[in-house]
A and B are shown apart, each in its own frame.
Chain A
Amino acid sequence: MITVLQAVARRDLLLARRRRVEMLLPLGFFIVAAALFPIGVGPEPQTLRQIGPGVVWVCALLAGMLSVTQMFASDLQDGSLEQMLRSPEPLVAIVAGKVLAHWLTTGLPLVLAAPLIGLLFGMQAAAIGALAGTLLLGTPILSLLGAVGAALTLGLRSGAALVFLLVLPLTVPALIFGTGAVVAIDGGLSAQAHFSLLGALLIFTGLGAPPAAAAALRISLD
């Protein structure tokens, strides 16, 4: 099961490496969207520091959703997805591998870019560290939930827009605990509870989402 997961993840990473610009598009979206906020809200340092964590998190949510429809789309087009469903290997492992590859190509760059955006918003060093930490725990949740949404909307005309509506309401708890941790650190409090809850959420989603996405794939390709 682990070997299947690794093989699928390696294959998807290889495919992503062949299309490097496409892989970096969510990151570009993330930076552009976050950079628009100071221009829209105004350059007041106090305001920017206050909205910083929320803006970075929401932009990361949107950037993650933007690329999630691509998780199964190209495999559907060239027919390899049907072969994966037919294979005797567990579909859950295949889905988990694809989620892992998606997180490595879109989630991880967002985590690495977040401190930079934090600096643009004038956040403190400790808060920036917390921001990167919460995103490290939070972005896998987005990839996992996004996989369910992408599998449900597979091949639909309005699939890309639909994924936003389906998945974003479910990401509310991650958003709350993620930004809550940063605000707590910024206020000199301990963020241990936030991190624990975010970790629990990640485990819960990690156990529930791959089987749900696998079931959704079977429904969509029935």
Chain B
Amino acid sequence: MATRLTTFAAPSRFYAAAGAAVPWCWAITALFGLAGLWVGFGIAPTDFQQGDAYRIIFIHVPAAWMSMLIYLVMAFWAALGWMLNTRMSAMYARALAPTGALMTVIALWTGALWGKPTWGTWWVWDARLTSEFILLLMYGGYIALTEAIDDPRRAANAGALLALVGAVNVPVIYFSVRWWNTLHQGSSISMTAAPKMASTMLTAMLLMTVCFWAYSFAVVFTRARAIVLEQESDTDWVRALTRTPTSEGRP
């Protein structure tokens, strides 16, 4: 097991393996995305309270899940890179950040689109919306900090510390925002869906979740490969890669 995990810690091996995995990730994304959209928009019944507006849940919920998960995964890899001084984990953490930020934006955006027909407003300072918004700011801070530092090693370690501090603070922020929200306007608006979700709706949501996972893997692998090429540009294997413009670089 140990050898298997550390095999891909070498940027050159990761580059090759990720390159091979990317087309498969895209295939899974397309397959499950089409299936999920078909079940979600074609088969799942119309909600008797919200009409067809609820169908955005099939994009909204997976995006919200991914946005929170990616932050934790990013903090994990960044911390690993900092503690064990492995370059690849640090590069991987940096590759995750824009996708996490994108997922947060999608979750907020679809939440606004969903809120307009059901609550009658684009935005409320609901606990979940507010903490999601703060999460977006924290992604922004991580990206801004790592981009502002020129030295890749310092950028990776500073980003790791920031991501860890953020990960420790996320629960504190979430519960304080929840408390603040209940103090100010009561639980007049609750986003909790119907207690019993039709099984087709659940199926569609799970299919879309797999699609979002595969998409994240595909994009993050692609971005991580680009970062590897950028940071390892003075090594022999990257030079060899660029000298022979065959299909080797883009399988």
Contact = CB atoms under 8 A, between A and B. Distances in A.
Answer whether A and B are interacting partners: yes
Contacts of B179: 176, 180
A153 B146 CA distance: 10
Main secondary structure of the interface of B (DSSP, over half): helix
A156 B144 CA distance: 12
Nearest to B180: A176
A162 B140 CA distance: 10
B161 A219 contact: yes
Interface stretch (B60-68, B147-155, B232-240): B147-155
A33 interface: no
Given A173-B172, A212-B161, A219-B158, A152 B138 contact: no
B20 interface: no
B144 A162 contact: yes
A208 B164 CA distance: 11
A169 B177 contact: no
Interface in A7-42: none
Contacts of A176: 176-177, 179-180
A162 B161 contact: no
Contacts of B141: 162, 165-166, 169
B205 to A, nearest CB: 29
Given A176-B179, A212-B161, 18 more contacts: A158-B148, A162-B148, A166-B145, A170-B173, A172-B173, A172-B176, A172-B177, A176-B176, A177-B176, A183-B183, A197-B176, A201-B172, A215-B161, A216-B158, A220-B154, A222-B153, A222-B154, A222-B157
27 contacts: A148-B165, A152-B162, A153-B148, A156-B148, A156-B149, A158-B144, A158-B148, A162-B141, A162-B144, A165-B144, A166-B144, A166-B145, A169-B134, A170-B165, A170-B169, A172-B134, A173-B176, A176-B179, A183-B183, A201-B172, A208-B165, A208-B168, A216-B158, A219-B158, A220-B154, A222-B154, A222-B157
